[in-house]
């Protein structure tokens, strides 16, 4: 694997993602100390449920991202419904109500692309289950900057379209079953 220090992790998911993200977060160890940013396509009614569910699933505090949040380790920042989540060059978060991308706001591509611009080769991008191609362009940007890209093995995804789209694009470094992603990430740090 590449000899570099990773500074942030971005995760994107859609259909079936709530449980997939819980599975991934629950498998990360206390040694996993880089900030995590998540886009899960969702309805506004799931606000409180998601943070509580993911808090219980993992060792990380989950927090709905606020504009101008400074990224901290041990916290998983979740894009609020109907807002794009962006990473600024100073590694703070910002929110946007710009038009939908791939029919989604928040868009996985927006998070992945802005995080890649901020972190360059020190970013890990993970695409999980989903039913469209959101995230593929963002993963191409992460790979172009020298970051690490991971896709959930499509046959382990509730909806295989999203990880398969990323794989088909040639932008993926590692294809893993959902149950192996957390241990792979733990071994990187």
Tell me if 159 sits within 8 A of 14, measured CB to CB. yes
Separation CA 73–CA 103 (nearest Å): 31
Among this protein's residues, is 98 annotated catalytic? no
CA 28 to chain centre: 14
Among this protein's residues, is 180 annotated catalytic? no
Among this protein's residues, is 84 annotated catalytic? no
Tell me the CA distances in angstroms from 76 to 30, 65, 102, 169, one per residue in order. 13, 9, 24, 27
What does the DSSP 8-state code read for residue 83?
S
Tell me if 174 sits within 8 A of 147, measured CB to CB. no
What does the DSSP 8-state code read for residue 67?
T
Q: Is the bond leading into 96 cis (omega within 30 degrees of zero)?
A: no
Catalytic residue among 116, 134, 160, 165: 134
Catalytic residues, by residue number, are: 14, 41, 134
């Amino acid at each position: 694997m590449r000899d570099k220090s990773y500074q942030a992790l971005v995760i994107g998911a859609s259909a079936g993602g709530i449980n997939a993200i819980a599975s991934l977060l629950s498998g990360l160890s206390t040694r996993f100390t880089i900030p995590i940013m998540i886009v899960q396509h969702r309805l506004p009614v799931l606000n409180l449920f998601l943070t509580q569910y993911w808090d219980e699933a993992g060792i990380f505090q989950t927090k709905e991202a606020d504009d101008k949040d400074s990224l901290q380790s041990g916290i998983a920042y979740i894009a609020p419904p109907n807002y794009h989540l962006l990473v600024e060059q100073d590694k703070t978060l910002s929110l946007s109500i710009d038009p939908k991308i791939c029919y989604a706001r928040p868009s996985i591509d927006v998070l992945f692309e802005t995080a890649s611009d901020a972190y360059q080769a020190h970013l890990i991008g993970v695409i999980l289950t989903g039913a469209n191609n959101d995230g593929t362009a963002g993963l191409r940007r992460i790979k172009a900057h020298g970051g690490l890209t991971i896709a959930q093995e499509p046959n382990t995804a509730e909806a295989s379209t999203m990880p398969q789209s990323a794989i088909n694009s040639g932008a993926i470094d590692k294809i893993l079953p959902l149950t192996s992603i957390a241990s792979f990430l733990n071994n990187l740090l």
